[in-house]
Chains A and B, each alone.
Chain A
Amino acid sequence: MHKLLTDSPGMEMLLLGNEAIARGALEAGLSFATCYPGTPSSEIPEQFFRISQETDLCFEYSTNEKVALEVGAGAAVSGLRTMVTMKHVGLNVAADPLMTLAYSGVKAGMVIVTADDPYLFSSQNEQDNRYYARLSGLPMLEPTNTQEMKDITKMAFELSEELELPVLLRTTTRLNHVRGKVTLGELQPIKTKGEFKKNPFHFVAIPAVSRKLHKLLLEKFDQASEKSENWPENKIIGSGKWGIVTNGVSFNYVSDAVSDLGIQDQVSILKAGFSWPLPKGLIKQFLEQVDKVLVVEELEPIMENDLRAIAQELGILKSIKGKGVGKLSRLFEYDPGMVRDAIAKYFEVPYEPPKTVDLSGIPELPNRPPNLCPGCPHRATYHAVKEVCGEDAIHPTDIGCYTLGVLPPISMADYLICMGSSVSSSCGFAEATDKKVVSFIGDSTFFHSGITGLVNAVHNNHKFTLVILDNGTTAMTGHQPHPGVDTTPMGVQRTQIDLEELVRGCGVKDVHVVKPFKVKKTKEAVKAAMEYDGISVIISREICPLFAKAIGKARKAKPFHVNPDKCKNHRDCINKIACPAMYLEGEQVMINQNLCIGCAVCAQICPENAILPSK
C-alpha cells in the first residue's frame, strides 16, 4: 500500500513537502487530479499516479498545463474535488483557461498548485506567481512548512468549494523539497462520479455571459477578502513595536532570526498565509501597533507595495521597507543568515554575523556541471548533427535533459526561451538569416507544445530541420509518460500515439526515423534532411537508458574498452562526445566498465578502431 494511504489519524510521518500536499488532498476527498510534471512540483503527481493504481482516484498526466487545467475544470464543475499541479512557468501555459475559469468558477473544490522556483534551481526564469492571483482575482494560499502544506491543502479545497472558485496554492522549491514531520488526519472517501448540471448562460463564456461573470468574480473577491480576514494562518504573532511581514518559507527565516537575536518582545510578525486578497483589517491593526515595518518576501516586492498602498489609504505614515534592506533583493532565494542580518540592520540590533572559515589558499576547483548520462542517445544525435553541419548552423533547442547539450564540448544549443520555442523560433531564424537551422526538441516537449509550431512551419513554408529526440519518456522530471509512450511497463493502459504518423499528419513530407547509435546512418539522414527544400523532421529514436533500467529493459550490450596498443591518442572520443564513462589515466583514455552501457558510439568515431567491446 502507498504510504500516503495509511489511515491512522494522529500518526506522525516524515514527509516531503510534495507528499504532504498529496496527503492533504486525499484528506480532503480528492477525486480527480491532472498535471504536466515540472520541477519542483513533480513529486505531487508522482504520488497520485501510484495511488490511482490502488484506488478509485482518477489521475492523468496531461499533454500540457493548459490541457491539464481544462481537463480539471470539466471535473470540478461536475462536482469532483480536483487538483491540478504545475511548476510556475506551467501556469503561463495554463493562463488562458485560468483567467476565464475564474469567471465561471467551479462546483466542487479545485486547487491549483503553482510551484515557484526562486534561484532557478531547474527553471528558465524565476517569475513570482503571486502576480497570477492578482491578475486572475483568485484567492492564494501560501503554506510555510510541511505540516501546513498538508493542512492548508485540505483547507484550500473547502475554501474553494465555499467560494465556488479555484484556489491557487503557491509553494517554492524550499517547501516542495523539504522533509518535515507531519501529523496525519483522516482520509476521506474518493467520489467516483460527478454530475454536470447544465447552465449555458453561466458556463459558456460569451461576452454577454462574461459581463455578468466578471461582476460575480468581484463579489466573490469581497467574500474572499472576508475569509482572508478570519483565516487562522493570517495572524499577528507578538505585540512589539517592530513590525515584520512575511510569507511562505521566509516565515521560518524570520522566526529563527527573531529568536536568535533575542528580540521576541520587541517584534510583531504578520504572517500572510492567505496572501491574496490580503486581510486589510488585520493589516490596519498591525500598522497601528508597530512603529516601522520590514517586509520579508522572496522575489518581487508585492506585499511591500500593497502595504504601502494600504498605509496610504489609511493615512498612516510609517516606514515600510523590504527590498534593499541588507541583502534582501528581488533576485534568488533568501536564507536564514541574510534575513537575520537584514532584521538586525533595519531595527538596529547589535549583531555579529558568524565568521565563515578563511577561504584563502583554496586552489581553483574543477567544475562539476551536470552531464548527459553514459550512453545517453542525445549525445549520439548531437554528434551526428555537428559532424554534418559544423559550427555554422543555428541550433534552437528546447527544455529537457538535452538542454545540457549547451555545455562544451557538445555546444549544440543557441536559443531557448520556453517549452516548444525550438520549433517556432526556428521559423523566425530560417526567415531572418541565411544560415541553416537545425533545431532540437524532446518527444514529451514536442507533444506539450511543439505540434502547433510545426503546423505553422509547414503552412508558412519555413525551411529548416527539426530533430525530435525521442527517448520514450519525460526523462528530466523523473520518467513520466507522455502521449507517445507505451505505458504498459508502467502498469497502466493508455493509447500510444505514433510520432511519425503525427509528424506526417502535420503535413511534413520529409521525415526520417533514425537510431542515433548507428552513427553513419544517422549522419546520412541529417545530410538528406538538411538538403531538403522545405521543412524536414528527423525522429531520433532510442530509449532513455535510465528509464530502460527502471522498467527492466536495460541494454544487454557489453561495455567497451580502449586498446592502448591501437590508441594513438587522437582523443576524438573525449573531445567530441564527452561521455562521462571516459577518463584519463595519465595520458591514456580509459573507459569505466561499470558506467559504459555499450552504446558503441565512441567505437564508431575512433579513427584507429581502438575502442572494442570487452569480453
Chain B
Amino acid sequence: MDTKRVVFVGVGGQGNLLASRLLGEAALSEGIPAVVSEIHGMAQRGGIVESAVLLGNVSSPIVSDGEADVLVGFEPVETLRALKKCNQETLVITNTHPLPPFTVSVGQGTYPPVDETLDLLQTKIKRVIALDGDAMAAQVGNPLSLNMVMLGALIGSGAIPIDADAMKKTIQQSTKKAFLESNLKAFDLGYESAKAQ
C-alpha cells in the first residue's frame, strides 16, 4: 500500500495520544504496518502535544516538515502552528473550537479570530475539513470524546485505508463500558461530518 503519514496536534488533555494509539491498534488488527510516535512528559501540563501515525511501507517514526498526508488538529491555532508539516496536497482536518492559551489572558499574545484562521487554511490547502468537535462531544454528553469525533472525521475523510467498522471495533475493545456508547456516537458524528464535506 501507499505510505500514509498522519500528524495529530492538540493541547494536553484533549486525548490526541489516545487517538493516535487507537489508530495504530486498528491498523495492526487490519494487517497494515503502523508506527506511532508520541512525545510524553509535558502532556498533562497544558502544553502542545504532537503525535504521528505512519501507515504502510515506512519505518521512520516521525514526519518531516512538508511531508504529512493528513494533519488532524484538535485546536484551530494548533492546526495553524503545525502547518509547516503540510504541503498543498495535505488533507487538513481541524476542530474549530478555540482553546486560548493562558498567555492570551495575561496579555502576552492575541488569539486570532477562528473564522480568519479557517479562511487562511482554505487559501493554503486544497482540502480542509472543519468541524466543531467540542460541540459534537457535548452533544453526546461526553466532553472528553473530542478525540473520538476527530478519529471519526479522519476515517470519514477516506484518506487512510482503515474503515469505520475496523476503527469502531478497536474503540470497543479499549473503552470503559461507561463511555463506550457516547464514544461511538461521537465517532459517528465526526465521521458523518467529514463525509458530508
> Which A residues are within 8 Å of any B CB, using their own CB?
12, 14, 16, 39-40, 42-43, 121-122, 145-146, 173-174, 177-181, 249, 252-253, 255-256, 259, 335-338, 353-359, 361-373, 401, 404, 408-409, 476, 546, 574-575, 578, 580, 582-584, 589
Contacts and interface: CB of A to CB of B under 8 A. Distances in A.
Contact of A366 (B11, B108, B125): B108
B158 interface: no
Given A252-B61, A335-B64, A336-B64, A367 B109 contact: yes
Interface string B6-26: 000001100000000100110
Contacts of A252: 59-61
B15 to A, nearest CB: 15
Interface string B23-56: 0110010000111111111101111100000000
B80 A367 contact: no
30 contacts: A39-B40, A122-B42, A146-B35, A177-B37, A177-B38, A177-B39, A177-B40, A178-B36, A178-B37, A180-B61, A252-B60, A335-B60, A335-B62, A336-B67, A354-B66, A354-B87, A356-B87, A359-B83, A361-B120, A362-B80, A366-B100, A366-B101, A366-B110, A366-B111, A370-B47, A371-B47, A371-B102, A574-B105, A578-B102, A584-B105
A46 to B, nearest CB: 11
A331 to B, nearest CB: 16
Find the residue from A42, A354, A368, A371 having the highest chain B CB count within 10 A.
Answer: A368
B100 A365 contact: no
B61 A174 contact: yes
Nearest to B11: A368
A252 B84 CA distance: 22
Contacts of A580: 46, 102
Interface string B58-95: 11111111110000000001101101101110100000
Closest 7 CB pairs of A and B: A366-B109, A337-B64, A370-B47, A356-B66, A370-B45, A179-B36, A122-B41
B103 A366 contact: yes
Contact of B86 (A180, A357, A369, A574): A357
B196 interface: no
Given A252-B59, A368-B101, 16 more contacts: A14-B36, A39-B40, A122-B41, A145-B59, A337-B64, A357-B66, A357-B83, A357-B87, A357-B88, A357-B90, A359-B83, A359-B84, A363-B116, A365-B109, A366-B104, A546-B44
A337 B88 contact: no
Nearest to B77: A365
A583 B105 contact: yes
B38 A179 contact: yes
A249 B28 contact: no
A365 B35 contact: no
Contacts of B38: 16, 177-179
Contact of A357 (B33, B42, B124): B124
A173 B83 contact: no
Nearest to B47: A370
Contacts of A249: 61
A64 B12 CA distance: 29
Nearest to A367: B103
Contacts of B112: 363, 365
B47 A355 contact: no
A409 to B, nearest CB: 6
Q: Which of A145, A354, A584 has the most CB of B within 10 A?
A: A354
Contacts of B65: 337, 356
B106 A409 contact: yes
Interface of B: 11-12, 21, 24-25, 28, 33-42, 44-48, 57-67, 77-78, 80-81, 83-84, 86-88, 90, 100-106, 108-112, 116, 120, 124-125
Contacts of A354: 66-67, 87
Contact of B48 (A12, A174, A368, A582): A368
B35 A179 contact: yes
Contacts of A364: 109-110
A574 B67 contact: no
A368 B41 contact: no
Contacts of A373: 44-46
Contacts of B88: 355, 357
B59 A14 contact: no
Contact of A337 (B46, B47, B67, B81): B67
A43 B21 CA distance: 16
A181 B87 CA distance: 29
B59 A256 contact: yes
B34 A180 contact: yes
A582 B86 contact: no
Contacts of A372: 45
Contacts of A173: 39
Nearest to B43: A370
A14 B64 contact: no
Contact of B28 (A14, A145, A353): A14
A40 B11 contact: no
Contact of B100 (A177, A476, A583): A583
Contact of B41 (A39, A336, A355, A362): A39
A174 B34 contact: no
B41 A121 contact: yes
Nearest to B102: A580
B34 A181 contact: yes
Given A252-B59, A368-B48, A353 B66 contact: yes
Contacts of B110: 363-364, 366
Nearest to A475: B44
A255 B59 contact: yes
B66 A355 contact: yes
A254 to B, nearest CB: 9
A117 B107 CA distance: 33
A101 B124 CA distance: 59
B62 A174 contact: yes
A289 B80 CA distance: 48
Nearest to A256: B60
A40 B78 contact: no
A367 B108 contact: yes
A361 B63 CA distance: 24
